[in-house]
Structure 1
Amino acid sequence: MSEKLGKALLDGLAFIVISILIFGLLITTIAYFGWVSVGLLGNIIYAAFVITFFTGTAIISKKFAEKGWLIGICVASVMVLLSLLFYTIGVEAPLSLQFYIRSIITFVICIAGGMIGVNLPTKK
């Protein structure tokens, strides 16, 4: 069972990393040319991360085919912990209510992605 989970995690995390790199390139290009306002750019970045982590969690859960909610909680926990490290180390602003709300939304999105991923039909 652990080999199956390892393969699923490798595939899902590879998708997440590659998607973040592609979205980062696209968002950087959009910001460089000034096609959208700066205020909207933060929302675009957050939406890209939500889409990426929802799909990545669904991929991991589909390949593992068990415990989608638990996989969603684990992926969301890693994402929130990394965000927390960024806020406490990299940014001088204190944690805000917006961070807590986005953390809860992240948990809900990743858990939903995990539960949907488990129930997706597989090709055999």
Structure 2
Amino acid sequence: MEKPRKGVSKGRIPTYEDSFKIAVAREYLAGNYSTRQIGEKYNLTRDNIGHFVRWYRKHYPDSSTPPVEEQSITAPSNDDVLTKELALAKLKITAMEMMISNYEQETGVNIAKKSGTKPPAK
């Protein structure tokens, strides 16, 4: 996945898409990867990742992904397994939404289902 950037020309500091920030923050908060591993994966600095996590917590305070410092180090219980599965499912949903958004931007075609459409005639 290539990180989306805006404003790279003219020496401006790059601005990242919100969906990219969410994906990186959720991946970090899931607790499976360190900032170094995520930084290498997306070619980001630790400061970028920290900024994304702070931004995510500010804009999505009721997120069900627990902060890393609140996660237990003991053997995983059923709740921990379910929490990780939920976090992974949310990450997949974010990825699918990003794919749909990118496709719509590239082709100019809205592929989301429109409400009130009539069923096909038989």
Q: TM-score normalised by the shorter chain: which range applies?
A: 0.3 to 0.5
Q: Normalising by the residue count of structure 1, what TM-score does the alignment of the two structures yield? A: 0.35
Greater Rg by CA:
2
Which structure dedicates a bigger proportion of its chain to helix?
Answer: 1
Q: 1 or 2 for the larger relative contact order (CA 8 Å, sep ≥6)? A: 1
Q: Normalising by the residue count of structure 2, what TM-score does the alignment of the two structures yield? A: 0.35
